Amino acid sequence: MAINTPRQTSHLKREILIRLIKAFLSDNFPENARLIPYQMRPKDYEAAYRCCVYKERAILRDRTIAGLGLSIEETDDSTHMAELAEHVLARTEPEENPLTVLQTACKGCVPSRIYVTDLCQGCVARPCVNTCKFGAISVKNGKSVIDPEKCKNCGMCVQVCPYQAIAKIIVPCENACPVGAIAKDENGHARIDFDKCISCGKCVSACPFGAVHEKSQIIDVLKHIKAGKKVIAMVAPAIFGQLPCSPKQLKTAIQKLGFAEVYEVAQGADVTTKTEAKEFEERLLKGAEFMTTSCCAGYNELVDKHISELKPFRSDTKTPLYYTAEIVKKEHPDAITVFFSPCVAKRKEAMKNDNIDYVLNYEEVGAWFIALNIKVEDCDESSFKTEASAEARNYAVTGGVANAVKTLLPEELPVYPVVIDGLNKQSIRDLKKYAKNGVCELGNLIEVMACTGGCLGGNATVNSFKPALKQLTNYVKESKSLKSEEISES
């Protein structure tokens, strides 16, 4: 099975997950988990990325700890790996925060700053000096100099320099975080402030050393399957663009992993669409200027933690995952529910919902297929219990939610969709402005997606965006419209 892993860190993460799964299925999980770093970096191995094999083993150990679902920050270095594996076998629920930083892997990047290089020509126009609003740039000995005490890192001088002589050094994880939730600690290593963190996963994707890591729940899920419990998978539409198989083949493959049943979260998306369309219409008739959608868990975290003034404008409708989990628990009260997610944020949503027991991302699911040698493209097809609409399955793509809601609104209702395609510092400023002014000059139905491209652009996807979009679009085209009689009555 070919999985697109554009970064070497993804290969390492996947290999560790595969080895952990195989270790769990072996006769001695604790011991085989302990051996993973040594098997991946044997004594005669020539270090490829760090100074020596021992450093690489230390990093692999931390990656294995994260694969066990444990926090690196709270794990004692002296604790035997076998003890940690035993602890995971005994625990009854996953840890609270979904991310951890591997300090052994963190490069300790130099602080973010703007500086003048030797390319400075000392030009007469002085565009850098004239552009800086903070008086941070002066000319000494014919060259521009930046005062770090005054510099605000706005980057305007970088943009106006005709010689590109001014450079901006960034710290990838800090630069990617839209809410300033990750920064260096006293030792120069990245540390996440979970009071600020919205679990968007941008730091995970941005770090070129793979130092920011999701804490996996795959061992917890494997425990329940091994114990013979009924475990049910709930799959978001984005997964149908990830693997080289049809959606119906994927359902069969997931059941081969040990899941009793597989539900499409698009089923819950149809509930979200109908509920949100009704809510939007009611709000407009009462004089509301605009409403934002509420499907993205990262956006919901943003509003709850950073833009509370936007709450009155956010839809009260629940997410597709919320409604799907509700359906599953109603039909199977004793089942263990597992959501297959393209991003980190859904782990936070699951922790707030008693109907959702665990979350696995697509990287983890892909590793599981490989560990069990399940070739998804060779599986037989099996149908989903409930048919979902084309619009619901297209929730995975930016614009899909707004389009679905608009489909069910009366033609005479003035609907002007606006799409926030990825959360960043600028889009957050825009949202704050809308909340402050009580109006969005661009439209009245604002769809917000934390990831660029929508869920198909999530940090834990395993296929490149364009081929994933093509694959999902073909599935959407085969599906019935939300307005069709079959979907409307389901």
The pLDDT score that the predictor gives to residue 43 is: 86
- Judged against a pLDDT cut of 90, whether residue 100 lies above it is answered with yes
What residue ranges in 345-469 does DSSP mark as E strands? 358-361, 417-421, 445-449
- Judged against a pLDDT cut of 80, whether residue 170 lies above it is answered with yes
The pLDDT score that the predictor gives to residue 393 is: 97
Average pLDDT, the chain: 94
Mean pLDDT for 236-245 is: 96
Mind listing the pLDDT tens digit for each residue in 442-468?
Answer: 999 999 999 999 999 999 999 999 999
Mind listing the pLDDT tens digit for each residue in 12-52?
Answer: 999 999 999 999 999 999 999 999 999 999 988 887 778 88
The pLDDT score that the predictor gives to residue 488 is: 47
The pLDDT score that the predictor gives to residue 490 is: 44
Which tokens go with 245?
A: 């198989």
Helix axes 400-407 and 266-285, enclosed angle (nearest 10)? 60
Length of the chain: 490
Mind listing the pLDDT tens digit for each residue in 63-72?
Answer: 999 999 999 9
Return residue ranges of the chain for CATH 3.30.70.20. Answer: 113-169
- CB proximity list for 473: less than 8 A, separation 6 or greater: none
What is the percentage of the chain residues whose pLDDT exceeds 70? Answer: 97
CATH level 2 (architecture), domain 223-488 = 3-Layer(aba) Sandwich (3.40)
Return residue ranges of the chain for CATH 3.40.950.10. Answer: 223-488
CATH level 2 (architecture), domain 113-169 = 2-Layer Sandwich (3.30)
- Of the given ranges (47-61, 264-278, 455-469), which has the lowest mean pLDDT? 47-61
Helix axes 362-371 and 8-24, enclosed angle (nearest 10)? 50
Instruction: Supply the pTM of this predicted model.
Output: 0.91
Single-letter amino acid code for the residue at 305 = K
Closest CA to 450 of 275, 241, 298: 298
The pLDDT score that the predictor gives to residue 319 is: 98
Which tokens go with 454?
A: 């929508």
Q: If you ran DSSP here, which 8-state letter would residue 452 be given?
A: T
Mean pLDDT for 196-219 is: 95
| CA distance between the termini of the chain | 35
